[in-house]
Structure 1
Amino acid sequence: MCKMAVMDDDASAVLEGVGQRLRVLRRSRGTTLAELAGETGLTASTLSRLENGKRRPTLEQLLPLARAHGVPLDDLVGYRHTGDPRVHLRPVARDGMTFVPLTRRAGGIQVFKVVYPPASRWGEPALKTHEGYEWFYVMNGSVRFVLGDQDLVLRAGEAAEFDTRLPHWIGSAGEHPAELLTLIGLQGERAHLTVSGD
């Protein structure tokens, strides 16, 4: 067998599972094909054909899909790292906050380091609700945590967990930034990183 044929076989094997991974990622985010089309600039029919394996994906299609799903391109093509176990951090800025992802797998609980700016940057708390459950641990600084009719201040070393269907708001309580370690489910991740932060 010639070298070119072996390379084609390898490429086919790598791309074979892309459709199923794309479908699992989209469904785990609770996103429709139409919504994903809006995020990526690809048509819903193209996305459907990619997920069903009726169309072979190109790099130009995979890049916006990886961005939309918040996963490395390697995850879409099923490439398994065999060397460096480190998570390469790519901070996301949203509404004055900085989210640093500490996990890289798609689906399930996601872990973030969240940096809230000083309290002087916030106005009155705007309580929000969304599907999911959240846990956070204050690493540095102090945090004002409003949950329903409770108005609490948590300091370094303290933690909280709550149902995000309850109206809530989190922000720095002092004149210095506050740093939190946060675990959130899929719906919570979408609310924080796609719509707006708490």
Structure 2
Amino acid sequence: MDRELAELLDGIGPRLRRIRQDRGLTLADLATATGLSISTLSRLEAGIRRPTLDLLIPLARTHRMALDHLIGAPPTGDPRAHLTPHRTEPRTGNPSVVVPLTSYPGRLQVFKQILGPGQTPPELVTHPGHAWFHVLSGTVRLLLGPGESLLEPGDTADFDTSVPHWFGPAGDRPAEILHLYGPHGDRPDGSARRGGR
């Protein structure tokens, strides 16, 4: 085994521990999410257990990281981010295409979202958390409590999702937004504003 490969393998355990701790997860949390035992995870992080694909793949899935990023493999020369769009067809709300831009479970999430026309009449929903979005293109209709706003490109919305709300294209054309969502009420820095330039 060459020295570079040996150093990479030796660094995987401490790297896995840092990733877990950065995400605020305990070994028990990670064991529940991956189906691996606490002792296996502990031995892997300590470098006692050799990292194998059957251990690393569940960790990569749970952390939503590419395998090469998880283990700290040297870059391949391809700087592209490999983003995976998801099409949603919700029972309530408009169909949309969501492209996750971050992969931090339990923390602030960032999405690019293309909102498609569809729902009439809009049905307001509530859920725990905080939402923020910035309109990139199109016109977005936002219903928030008793109020209604039309947001144009450059406008920003920032609201508590426990307030009844709905948003979608204002007409029959799609709208595109940059969307931040905090599952525990966390919110980005800055204040709510319209015309966020």
* TM-score, structure 2 as length reference: 0.68
Superposed, which structure 2 residues align to 1:60-139 within 5 Å?
60-81=54-75, 83-93=77-87, 95=90, 96-102=95-101, 111-120=110-119, 124-130=123-129, 135-139=132-136
- The amino acid across from 1:118 in the alignment is P
Q: Identity rate of aligned residues, in percent?
A: 44
Unmatched 5+ stretches in structure 2: 187-197
Number of positions where the alignment pairs a residue of Structure 1 with one of Structure 2: 180
Q: Deviations over 1:85-109 (max 9, x none)?
A: 2212212345554321345799986
Q: Deviations over 1:39-97 (max 9, x none)?
A: 32222322222223332211121112111111111111112425222212212345554
Cα root mean square deviation, aligned = 3.6
Find the counterpart in structure 2 of residue 49 from structure 1.
43
Sort the Cα spacing of 1:87 and 1:33 in 2 relative to 1 into closer, same or farther, 3 A: same
More off after superposition, 97-106 vs 18-27: 97-106
Sort the Cα spacing of 1:103 and 1:80 in 2 relative to 1 into closer, same or farther, 3 A: farther
Normalized per residue, the structure richer in helix is 1
Q: Distance in 1 between matches of 2:168 and 2:32?
A: 34
1:14 shift after superposition? 1.0
Q: Helix, strand or coil: the match of 2:9?
A: helix
Find the counterpart in structure 1 of residue 140 from structure 2.
143
Q: Distance in 1 between matches of 2:4 and 2:63?
A: 25
- The amino acid across from 2:167 in the alignment is G
Sort the Cα spacing of 1:22 and 1:140 in 2 relative to 1 into closer, same or farther, 3 A: same
- The amino acid across from 1:58 in the alignment is T
Q: Helix, strand or coil: the match of 2:114?
A: strand
Q: Helix, strand or coil: the match of 2:97?
A: strand
The answer as to 2:177 corresponding to 1:180 is: yes
- The amino acid across from 1:12 in the alignment is A
The answer as to 2:56 corresponding to 1:59 is: no
2:63·2:104 contact (CA, 8 Å) conserved in 1?
Answer: no
Match among 2, 5, 8 for residue 14 of structure 1? 8
Unmatched 5+ stretches in structure 1: 190-198
* TM-score, structure 1 as length reference: 0.68
